[in-house]
C-alpha cells in the first residue's frame, strides 16, 4: 500500500494498541461483557492510518464464575447477600493493555489480536469479584477496511 504522505510503498506498523469500548451489564444472574475492539494499521514511515478492523466482543460470566471469584478473593460472605441482585454491585470491564499480545500479521494474510479483559465487581470501596477472559480474534488482511 502507498503511504499518502510520502507516496512510498509503506511497511505496516502494528505497534499501536487496540482501542476498546467495553461495558459490563447485569443480565439476570450473570454478567455480560459487550463492546468492540478497533485495530488500526499505520504506515511505518509516516504513521498514517492505512487499514482498520473492528471486532465485536461478547462474553458471559455465570453466577458460578462470580461466586468462585469472590471466594478466591476471600469475599464470598460479602457478596453472598447480593447474588440475587447483582445490580447492587458496580461492575467495570477493561482491557489489560499491559498484557496485550503484539498484534501480528502472519505472512501478510491475517491480523490477530489477543488481550485479557477483566471485569471488576466493586461493593463500597472493596473489590468483591475479579473475572478475566482472554479475548482473541483475527481477520484476513484483505478484509480490513482501507482508510486511504
Grid look-up 488500526 returns 40
pLDDT higher than threshold 90 for residue 128: yes
Q: How confident is the model at residue 108 (pLDDT cuts 50, 70, 90)?
A: low
Mean residue pLDDT of the chain comes to 89
Give the Å distances, CA to CA, from 144 to 25, 51, 106, 110, 124.
29, 6, 14, 10, 43
pLDDT higher than threshold 60 for residue 102: no
CA distance 137 to 67: 28
Sequence-distant (≥ 6) Cβ neighbours of residue 134 within 8 angstroms: 114, 115, 116, 117
- The pTM for the full model equals 0.83
Give the Å distances, CA to CA, from 30 to 13, 65, 84, 146.
39, 9, 10, 38
Q: How confident is the model at residue 141 (pLDDT cuts 50, 70, 90)?
A: confident
Domain range summary for the chain, segments of one domain joined by +: 12-142
Report the range of poorest mean pLDDT among 64-68, 106-110, 117-121, 123-127: 106-110
pLDDT in tens, 37-70: 999 989 999 999 999 999 999 999 999 999 999 9
Amino acid at each position: 500500500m502507498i503511504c499518502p504522505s510520502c507516496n512510498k510503498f509503506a511497511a505496516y506498523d502494528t505497534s499501536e494498541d487496540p482501542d476498546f469500548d467495553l461495558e459490563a451489564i447485569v443480565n439476570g444472574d450473570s454478567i455480560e461483557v459487550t463492546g468492540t475492539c478497533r485495530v488500526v494499521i499505520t504506515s511505518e514511515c509516516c504513521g498514517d492510518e492505512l487499514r482498520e478492523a473492528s471486532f465485536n466482543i461478547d462474553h458471559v460470566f455465570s453466577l458460578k464464575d462470580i461466586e468462585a471469584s469472590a471466594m478466591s478473593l476471600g469475599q464470598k460472605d460479602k457478596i453472598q447477600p447480593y447474588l440475587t441482585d447483582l445490580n447492587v454491585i458496580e461492575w467495570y470491564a477493561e482491557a489489560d493493555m499491559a498484557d496485550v499480545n503484539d498484534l501480528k500479521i502472519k505472512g501478510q494474510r491475517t491480523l490477530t489480536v489477543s488481550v485479557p479483559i477483566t471485569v471488576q465487581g466493586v461493593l463500597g470501596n472493596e473489590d468483591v469479584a475479579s473475572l478475566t477472559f482472554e479475548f482473541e480474534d483475527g481477520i484476513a488482511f484483505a478484509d480490513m477496511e482501507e482508510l486511504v
